Structures are given as structure tokens and as C-alpha cells.
Homo-oligomer: A and B are copies of this chain.
Amino acid sequence: MMSSSTSPPRTKAEIAELLGARDILPTAQRVELAALLLATQQHLSAEQVMSRAKIAGLVVSKATVYNTLGLFVERGIVREVIVDSARVFYDSNTDPHYHFYNVDDGTLGDVATVHVPIEQLPTPPAGTVTTGVDIVIRIRNRP
């Protein structure tokens, strides 16, 4: 199984291939948004994605940014991070890991799973299955 710690796809062809592998029709907007998102390991809100797209000269509407981010989450291209009721963050690192969330900045940082060794997980309630474990370490700038 390939890890997203592999160096990011660089060419549009590589990105188109990556999208195709997840049954995503690689339209111009999707390829460019994926290129933007996957360029580095990062955590961006939808609004940040839009502003970076605009800065990069991309022609994408707000609706398409939201639709595309939703599709990318559904297909495992990026991961949703829920730490703040005000907005969703999209994480280009889909490998298992946890997060620091700076409530002063509104910025996210990665925490490798090895840094939070968990001895055991509780059994989920009867009739349910565990689909994931999210750990958020909330931090503040020191006064």
C-alpha cells in the first residue's frame, strides 16, 4: 500500500492519473485543485483553498471548490479535520496521524501516531464498528 509520504505528484498527467485511479474525472479544475492541495503536506480551509487558487490564477468557482473538496474527501484524496465549529480543514496527508490545533492562530500541525502511543482502544458499542480515531491536542500561544 502506498503512503502519501511519497513525494507528491508533480505533473498534471500524474495528478490526472491519481484522480483517475479513484474514479474521479480529471477535469481542469480538479487537476489544478489537487495540484494545489497535494503540493505539500498542509491543512487548508475551503476559504484558504479558494484564495490560493485565485492567487495562482486559477479559474474556479466557490461551488466547484466545495464540490471538489467534498469529492476528494469521499475518495480519499484528502482528509477532513474537524477541530473548530467555524470551518472544516482539509489535510493533504491521508496517512494515519493526529493533530495539534492552535486555537489562537487557527492553525493545525501534525502529530505522528508514534508520539501518542495508545495501548488499547475501547470496544465500540454493540452493533457498531470503529471507523477512525481522531486525536486533537489543543494548544495556545504562551502568554
- Known A102-B128, A128-B141, A128-B142; 9 more pairs at CB < 8 Å: A80-B85, A117-B119, A118-B119, A122-B137, A124-B139, A130-B139, A131-B139, A134-B134, A134-B135
Question: Given A82-B84, A132-B138, A141-B128, is A117 in contact with B118 using a C-beta cutoff of 8 Å?
Answer: yes
A116 lies within 8 A of chain B by Cβ:
yes
A127 within 8 A of B: yes
Closest to A140 in B: B131
Alpha-carbon separation in the docked complex, A132 to B135 (Å) = 10
CB neighbours (8 Å) of A1 from chain B are none
Interface residues of A in 111-133 (CB under 8 A from B): 111, 115-122, 124-125, 127-133
Chain A contact residues, CB within 8 Å of chain B: 80, 82-85, 87-88, 100, 102-103, 109, 111, 115-122, 124-125, 127-142
Grouping DSSP codes into helix (H, G, I), strand (E, B) and loop, the A interface class, with mixed when no group exceeds half, is strand
Roughly how many angstroms separate A35 CA and B40 CA in the complex, as a whole number?
A: 49
A129 touches B124 (CB 8 A): no
Q: Are A141 and B127 in contact (CB under 8 A)?
A: yes
With both beta carbons as reference points, the residue of chain B lying nearest to A120 in the complex is identified as B117
